[in-house]
Copies of this chain bind each other. A is one copy, B any other.
Amino acid sequence: MANLNINIGKLQLKNPVMTASGTFGYGTEYSDFIDISRIGGIIVKGTTLRSRQGNAYPRMAETPSGMLNAVGLQNKGVDYFINHIYPTVKVIDTNVIVNLSGSTLEDYIEAAEMLNDLDKLPGIELNISCPNVKEGGMAFGISCLSAAEVVREVRRVYKNDLMVKLSPNVTDISEIARAVEAEGADSVSLINTLLGMAIDSEKRKPILSTITGGLSGPAVKPIALRMVWEVAKAVKIPVVGMGGIMNAADAIEFMLAGASGVQIGTANFIDPTVTIKVIDGIDEYLNRHGYSSVIDIIGALEV
């Protein structure tokens, strides 16, 4: 058994494997299949200050080695989370982290203040990159100035771990990463989904109700890996990598490229036990290659 413990910002994880927001519900959806407390961290559904109905149906389109979603941040709001979800998830023996989205700076700040009071919530993932709703924060995430501003203001009120989730729909993601680092982010996570579109040629209609949606799954892995590589070189804070991770080898690639931790999203839908397989697979890899700790492979790519 290699040592899988890893600290990412202020978070202490028993292993580098987390679940990506919006793909793992509140964790409990998976407890029939796995012991969710074995996972390093669970990033819960995208949460907004006030409850949201999300987008109209259809919200999903399958694409080659991937999928588009247009869920649109359906959630019951921060209040509901605090009163109804938090009590049940805070007892899970792992890091439960809230993915926070907003449409205005004030929304972000108000929600972050409320979450700051939860003593068993080790951190939030600030989502400034949801492509599916105007209010999803992508407007914040695609410019350095606005990304910096929202991180600065949230940082002022939020004292625990602040992971900032970056959008891949930009010319230079390292620039944004540096901007949020400068404002006090504890870590950055990437990538959120890539803006894409699917069309039914026979019906001559877009498949999604929203026309465009967010692309995830193995199709995006090469792009995600490149961005993690770029960002890891650009910032000093830890990087959390994701995008198309389906197995331990994929996760290891992200860590070699410089990620201190990974998140698994779409793969959970196909194999609800994938997180555990990835954790075990990383351990097996470390043993086979003679590493005593997972820390040894972070950024260990030989170029």
Contact = CB atoms under 8 A, between A and B. Distances in A.
Interface string A222-260: 110110010000000000000010000100110011000
A222 B215 contact: yes
B253 A199 contact: yes
A64 interface: yes
B64 A199 contact: no
Interface string A273-303: 0000000000001000000000001001111
A231 to B, nearest CB: 12
Interface stretch (A47-55, A93-101, A115-123, A203-211): A203-211
Given A64-B218, A222-B68, A201 B257 contact: no
A204 B285 contact: no
A66 interface: yes
A191 B29 CA distance: 39
Interface string A64-76: 1110100000000
A200 to B, nearest CB: 8
A39 interface: no
Given A64-B221, A171-B142, A219-B220, A226 B195 contact: yes
A211 B205 CA distance: 39
A21 interface: no
A244 B205 contact: no
The majority secondary structure among interface residues of chain A is mixed
Interface string A156-186: 0000000000000111000000000000000
B197 A303 contact: no
B244 A64 contact: yes
B170 A197 contact: no
Contacts of A201: 249, 252-253, 256, 285
A198 interface: yes
A197 B256 contact: no
A107 to B, nearest CB: 23
Given A222-B215, A301-B206, A199 B244 contact: no
A198 B223 contact: no
Contacts of A303: 205-206, 211
A152 to B, nearest CB: 21
Interface of A: 61, 63-66, 68, 142-143, 169-171, 194-199, 201, 204-206, 211-212, 215, 217-223, 225-226, 229, 244, 249, 252-253, 256-257, 285, 297, 300-303
Going nearest first, the 8 A-B pairs with the smallest beta carbon separation are A196-B222, A64-B218, A219-B219, A197-B226, A65-B65, A64-B65, A199-B253, A201-B252
8 contacts: A64-B217, A64-B244, A197-B225, A197-B229, A199-B257, A201-B252, A201-B256, A218-B219
